[in-house]
């Protein structure tokens, strides 16, 4: 028995020497077993490399194993499987149950114990404790005289650790405990006896692994270990090899303890015929002092991209160039990226565009897989009483009998009518105009089996019962058959990675079910606890895929790079914080806390320093891989435009290679443009970008015209070029509607409201969409501000009608009379409103009380306004139109076309004052709104003046000869909050009343002002007017003289005619207004339809000038309609 140590720098031929030794042993054919031990993630690649080197169709006497597979092999041979083996998923599920049970006893981890990811941290730490042979007693001793925080952490960890070990007992065997079993039985193994063992690729060795190595040294014929380690005295980068040096010294000590002979082989130099620059990089990247490279740099490329997307795009173009011009196979090229979360989807998209076959060597979680979502959403329905969210999650997995369009119709119905909880089990009855029979058929198709399943699960008491119920349900619903159908469809589409994923998922779920039953089947559990246990198992599983073909570009992170014979290596994302990594996850213990335990004598893995050393070795090994070319790139900005810094390694490279140019896409010169030309699909977007820049006045290289000609002549691309040409010359404008379109969309005679005309004045296109196309947003079973406003409008109207019906004088109304009446009216309104939406939740039931309060407060303000003046309410909710109390306002246009103007006035107050009678028009608003003559001039605020015109023409309705305008007001319906230091009730009431001060226009007449507010002194608390000390009307923007009212009324008529004329003529231009700080786009819901953007040549705001009231009135006097 002899121990052989092979040490050498990366690329010195250590693995090749091992392969040669294995080949020699195979040729001897002496019957001894040959074993190659490598890290778990490298087993597949090592098998391939060995077979390729040996040039054999297969290997029988040689086994490529990891320590985990070695343990399984030994247990299979010598026995020991009487205990149930718990895998990673089983351990997570057991820990989830233990942690939930122990939660009340935990101290520092009590609150975080239920968070996602905590089980993973605990599982990892327990695994570390076992791998480093740390017992409960050692933890207890180490916790003495420690700070409270660390002591409490160790208390919680020890408690969980103890309960976990107690749970395992003598019945179960954890993955990490398996090594202890192997150590106890390894001497019985004939598989290892007299075998020859080689170890390659290890940078660190745990105490458990060293114990197994020690046992192997006692029964095998020989052990050869290879280390990436430079043992020469001239080595200037010793710190790079710190991890492997520790492993080398540990194996040395084992051999010395066993008094075994040792042989040391140190390999120097490189076997591969690499360029001088790449060899220099491998020698000097971490050397101190370093030597600067002299001469022309070949084989090393440095690229700085403006964005991450362009960085990936440029790398894909270079890979295509190497395959085309350097005759490299896809398998000869490898892409390394340390941030696959950010780069992964970009790499996938770019490589597909370039037609590059690739394989991403990374594991994926299964939580988002439809089958896992199907199971968890099913359990959530039972646990959370059929929340619509869970029901729809269940339906959208695609594993039910419903088609996707049927699911979407059900979803719309559920959202519109607030279907939730037990309503899913009842017949749908809301929405009489909907196909209820079909909706209920779909509901039965999935709810009947689910309801039966729920009944079975409610009767279950143990984890095993729940699992059996779930398995039976999956069988009854033919889930396996549905998955097989998916697999066949995906295979036909050539999506082999998804085929492999779906192929594995059923077995994974069944394995987790088996683990659940084996390790805790007889444990009592609630359904909610079972769901958490099962989720912990699913969350811990990482789905691994194998390449679907050999000739692919391998994509992975730095930890998975094992490929030999890499001719071209692409390193993406060499930015600060990514490579080397700046993010270090501490886990359960902080770095300082680990250090405190190490000082106490506990040997723990990891630690930031150790991890940094291991990463540095990985970077060194990575940069030593390529034989012909190394491409290193970084981005100057991320996808959102935030600047990124290059890695410190970039600075190191520029120091090592002063003559190394940094290529970039900042300046798109001819060579840079030629480099991105590849297959038609990927080149097309670059062509379009060049044409776009050419149209913007920038020069374009001549070869792009040749490329354009190729696309135009190719039958497949010609239609795409035609559509692209339309897009390049796209104008985001709308030509006027034809008379036929107008007649179809707006039937004659045109019936319009004032708010509709105001919408047209704001933006003609928004008017077309809202009143012509009439798109509808998806209704939701909820109460929004418009609903509240509508209810309060109805309440005020009904209150006025009820006061009139009961012949109650407004002057004598009290809160004792009004409050009960308001409450009664509001209760009746909400009961019938929105298919009973107010009874659907406690929140809405509370909102009813708030609506009552708002109604009472508002009515009291209205009563106060009436009682403080001489005007009396004459009518509420007065409508004018074809079906209204009054006929519509008929506007005859220049061409003889008639437009019927319709509307509804919320309240009309009249004062009969001798020979004259005056009228107030009041419109209720749930938002604060004022009337500006400036806005009226531009057509943005016509409502009150047009309403006044309509009412003035109906004096005879009230038995009057004529009516004169006294004022047009907006009354703000709201629930005001009063801020005051004076808590006297009367003061508070006064402050409240001021909150209901109306806004609008009022006649400049002192006598009438006092008829509207008897107490007016200074600023009125009721109307937008004020009286000076000398008893004159103060000049304010809201005060209009008697001779100015006709100007306003006439101008309103002119503006209505103009706007109606433009509608009839088909104006639908995208011309939103911009007025001061306001613009039509601010709250417009149609932006996704019009796509208005001031950056478009044909898109610009219609800027409206600001005028004060005097200026606006003078323009109206001249009737200058702009």
pLDDT of 1051-1089, one tens digit each?
999 999 999 999 999 999 999 999 988 999 998 999 999
Secondary structure E strands in 298-369:
300-305, 333-337, 358-361, 364-365
Which parts of the chain have pLDDT scores under 50?
1121-1122
Shared-domain flag, residues 32 and 17: yes
Residues 746 and 682 in one domain: no
Q: What is d(CA 737, CA 191) in angstroms, rounded to the nearest whole number?
A: 87
Query: Helix, strand or coil for residue 598?
Result: helix
Q: Residue 900 falls within a domain, yes or no?
A: no
The domain boundary residue, chosen from 801, 836, 869:
869
* pLDDT value of position 80: 65
Check whether residue 372 and residue 443 sit in a common domain: yes
Long-range contacts of 663-668 (CB under 8 A, 24+ apart): 663/301, 663/302, 663/303, 663/304, 664/303, 664/304, 664/305, 664/306, 665/305, 665/306, 665/310, 665/314, 666/304, 666/306
Residue 37 maps to a domain: yes
Distances (CA, A) of 1004 to 213, 539, 560, 846, 913: 104, 75, 85, 45, 16
Residue 290 located in a structural domain: yes
Handedness of CA 79, 85, 87, 92 (dihedral sign): negative
341 lies in a domain?
Answer: yes
Is there a single domain that holds both residue 396 and residue 513?
yes
DSSP string, 992-1025: HHHTT--EEEEES-HHHHHHH-TT-SEE-SSSS-
Q: Is 1041 left (phi over 0), alpha (psi -120 to 50) or beta?
A: beta
Q: Which domain holds residue 706?
A: 673-728
Angle at 98 between CA 92 and CA 102, to 5 degrees: 140
What φ, ψ does residue 505 adopt, rounded to 5°?
Answer: -60, -40
Q: Omega of the bond prior to 36 within 30 degrees of 0, cis?
A: no
Mark whether 623 and 762 lie in a shared domain: no
793 with 760, same domain?
Answer: no
Residue by residue, DSSP assigns 716-735 as TTHHHHHHHHHHHT-----P
Token pair belonging to 238: 């010793």
Query: 187 and 132, same structural domain?
Result: no
Q: Cβ–Cβ contacts within 10 Å for residue 880, how many?
A: 22
Task: Report the pLDDT value the prediction gives residue 225, as an integer from 0 to 100.
Answer: 96
Same domain, 77 and 155: no
Exposed/middle/buried for residue 389 (C-beta within 10 Å: 0-12, 13-18, 19+): middle
Q: Is residue 917, in this structure, part of any structural domain at all?
A: no
For residue 491, is it within any domain? Answer: yes
Among 110, 139, 169, give the residue marking a domain's end: 169
Report the candidate in 645, 383, 62, 360 with the shortest Cα–Cα distance to residue 391: 383
Q: Is residue 442 part of a domain?
A: yes
| Rounded (10°) CA dihedral 238, 244, 245, 248 | -150
User: What's the number of domains the chain is made of?
Assistant: 7
The helices-and-strands tally (H runs, E runs) of the chain is 41, 30
Residues 570, 632, single domain; the answer is: yes
Domain membership of residue 161 (yes or no) is: yes
576 and 645 in one domain?
Answer: yes
Tokens in use for 355? 């037609």
Q: Domain containing 560 — which CATH number?
A: 3.40.50.300
Asked which of 617, 642, 666 is the last residue of a domain, the reply is 666
Helices 496-520 and 527-540 sit at what angle, rounded to 10 degrees? 130
Same domain, 209 and 289: no
* Token digits of residue 970: 């907006």
Whether residue 284 is found in the same domain as residue 352: yes
């Amino acid at each position: 028995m002899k121990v052989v140590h092979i040490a050498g720098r990366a690329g010195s031929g250590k693995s090749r020497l091992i392969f040669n030794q294995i080949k020699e042993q195979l040729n001897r054919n002496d019957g001894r077993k040959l074993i190659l031990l490598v890290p778990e993630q490298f087993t597949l690649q090592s098998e391939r490399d060995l077979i390729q080197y040996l040039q054999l169709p297969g290997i029988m006497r040689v086994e490529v194993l990891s320590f985990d597979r070695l343990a399984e092999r030994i247990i299979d041979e010598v026995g020991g499987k009487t205990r149930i083996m718990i895998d990673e998923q089983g351990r997570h599920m057991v820990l989830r149950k233990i942690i939930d049970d122990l939660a009340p006893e935990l101290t520092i981890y009590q609150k975080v114990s239920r968070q996602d990811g905590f089980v993973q941290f605990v599982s990892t730490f327990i695994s570390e404790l076992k791998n480093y042979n740390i017992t409960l007693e050692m933890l207890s001793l180490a916790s003495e005289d420690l700070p409270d925080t660390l002591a409490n952490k160790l208390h919680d960890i020890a408690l969980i650790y103890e309960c976990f070990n107690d749970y395992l007992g003598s019945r179960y065997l954890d993955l990490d405990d398996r090594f202890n079993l192997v150590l106890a039985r390894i001497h019985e193994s004939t598989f290892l006896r007299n075998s020859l063992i080689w170890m390659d690729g290890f940078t660190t060795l745990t105490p458990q692994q060293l114990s197994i190595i020690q046992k192997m040294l006692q029964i095998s014929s020989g052990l050869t270990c290879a280390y990436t380690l430079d043992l020469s005295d001239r080595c200037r980068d010793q710190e790079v090899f710190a991890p492997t040096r520790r492993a080398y010294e540990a194996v040395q000590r084992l051999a010395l303890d066993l008094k075994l002979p040792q042989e040391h082989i140190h390999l120097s130099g490189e076997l591969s015929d690499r360029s001088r620059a790449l060899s220099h990089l491998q020698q000097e990247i971490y050397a101190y002092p370093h030597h600067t490279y002299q001469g022309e740099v070949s084989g090393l490329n440095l690229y700085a991209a403006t964005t991450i997307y362009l960085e990936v795009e440029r790398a894909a173009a270079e890979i295509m160039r190497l395959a085309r011009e350097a005759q490299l196979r896809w398998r000869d090229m490898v892409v390394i990226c340390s941030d696959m979360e950010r780069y992964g989807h970009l790499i996938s998209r770019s490589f597909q565009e370039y037609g590059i076959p690739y394989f991403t060597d990374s594991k994926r979680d299964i939580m988002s897989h439809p089958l896992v979502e199907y199971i968890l959403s099913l359990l959530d329905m039972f646990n959370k009483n059929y929340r619509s969210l869970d029901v729809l999650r269940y339906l959208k997995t695609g594993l039910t009998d419903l088609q996707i369009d049927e699911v979407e119709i059900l979803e719309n119905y559920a959202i519109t009518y607030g279907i939730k909880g037990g309503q899913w089990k009842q017949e749908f009855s809301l929405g009489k105009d909907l196909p209820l029979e079909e909706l209920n058929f779909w509901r039965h198709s999935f709810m009947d089996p689910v309801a039966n399943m729920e009944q079975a699960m409610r009767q279950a008491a143990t984890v095993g019962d729940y699992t059996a119920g779930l398995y039976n349900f999956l069988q009854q619903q033919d889930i396996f058959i549905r998955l097989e159908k998916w697999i066949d469809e995906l295979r036909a589409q050539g999506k082999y990675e998804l085929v492999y994923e779906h192929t594995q998922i059923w077995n994974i779920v069944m394995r987790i079910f088996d683990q659940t039953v084996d390790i805790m089947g007889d444990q009592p559990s609630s359904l909610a606890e079972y769901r958490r246990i099962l989720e912990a198992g699913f969350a811990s599983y990482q789905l691994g895929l194998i390449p679907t073909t050999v000739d692919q570009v391998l994509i992975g992170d730095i930890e998975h790079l094992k490929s030999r014979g890499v001719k071209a290596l692409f390193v993406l994302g060499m930015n600060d914080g990514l490579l080397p990594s700046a993010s270090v996850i501490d886990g359960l213990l902080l770095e300082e806390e680990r250090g405190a335990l190490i000082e106490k004598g506990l040997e723990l893995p990891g630690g930031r320093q150790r991890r940094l050393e291991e990463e540095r070795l990985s970077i060194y090994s990575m940069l030593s891989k390529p034989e012909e070319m190394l491409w290193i790139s970084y981005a100057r900005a991320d996808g959102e435009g935030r600047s990124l810094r290059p890695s410190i390694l970039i600075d190191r490279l520029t120091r090592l290679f002063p003559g190394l140019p940094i290529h970039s896409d900042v300046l798109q010169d001819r060579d840079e443009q030629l480099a991105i030309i590849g297959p038609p699909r990927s080149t097309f977007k670059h062509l379009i970008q060049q044409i776009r820049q050419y149209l913007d006045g920038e020069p374009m290289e001549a070869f792009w015209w040749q490329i354009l000609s190729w696309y135009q002549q190719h039958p497949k691309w010609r239609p795409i070029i035609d559509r692209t040409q339309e897009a390049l010359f796209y104008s985001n404008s709308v030509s006027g509607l034809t008379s036929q379109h107008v007649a179809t969309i707006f039937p004659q005679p045109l019936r319009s409201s004032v708010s509709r005309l105001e919408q047209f004045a704001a933006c003609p296109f928004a008017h077309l969409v809202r009143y012509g196309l009439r798109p509808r947003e998806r209704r939701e079973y909820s109460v929004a501000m418009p609903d509240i406003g509508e209810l309060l409008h109805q309440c005020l109207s009904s209150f006025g009608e009820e006061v009139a019906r009961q012949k109650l004088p407004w002057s004598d109304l009290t809160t004792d009379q009004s409050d009960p009446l308001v409450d009664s009216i509001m209760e009746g309104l909400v009961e019938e409103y929105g298919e009973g939406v107010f009874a659907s939740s406690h929140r809405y039931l509370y909102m009813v009380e708030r609506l009552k309060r708002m109604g009472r407060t508002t009515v009291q303000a209205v009563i106060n306004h009436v009682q403080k003046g001489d005007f009396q309410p004459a009518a509420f909710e007065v409508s004018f139109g074809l079906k209204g109390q009054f006929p519509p306002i008929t506007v005859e246009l220049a061409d003889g076309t008639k437009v019927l103007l319709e509307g509804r006035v919320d309240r009309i107050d009249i004062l009969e004052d001798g020979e004259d009678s005056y009228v107030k028009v009041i419109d209720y608003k749930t938002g604060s709104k004022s009337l500006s003559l400036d806005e009226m001039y531009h057509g943005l605020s016509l409502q009150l003046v047009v309403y006044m015109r309509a009412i003035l023409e109906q004096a005879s309705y009230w038995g009057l000869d004529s009516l004169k305008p006294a004022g047009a007001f907006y009354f703000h319906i709201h629930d005001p909050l009063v801020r005051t230091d004076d808590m006297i009730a009367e003061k508070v009431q006064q402050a409240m009343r001021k909150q209901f001060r109306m806004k609008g226009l009022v006649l400049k007449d002192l006598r009438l002002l006092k008829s509207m507010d008897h107490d007016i002194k200074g600023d009125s608390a009721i109307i937008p007017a004020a009286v000076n000390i000398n008893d004159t009307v103060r000049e304010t923007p809201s005060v209009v003289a008697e001779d100015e009212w006709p100007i306003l009324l006439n101008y309103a008529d002119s503006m209505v005619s103009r706007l109606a004329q433009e509608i009839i003529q088909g104006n639908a231009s995208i011309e939103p207004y911009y007025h001061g700080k306001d613009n039509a786009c601010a709250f417009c819901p149609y932006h996704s339809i019009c796509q208005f953007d001031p950056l478009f040549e044909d898109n610009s705001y219609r800027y409206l000038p600001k005028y004060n009231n005097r200026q606006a009135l003078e323009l109206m006097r001249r009737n200058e309609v702009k």
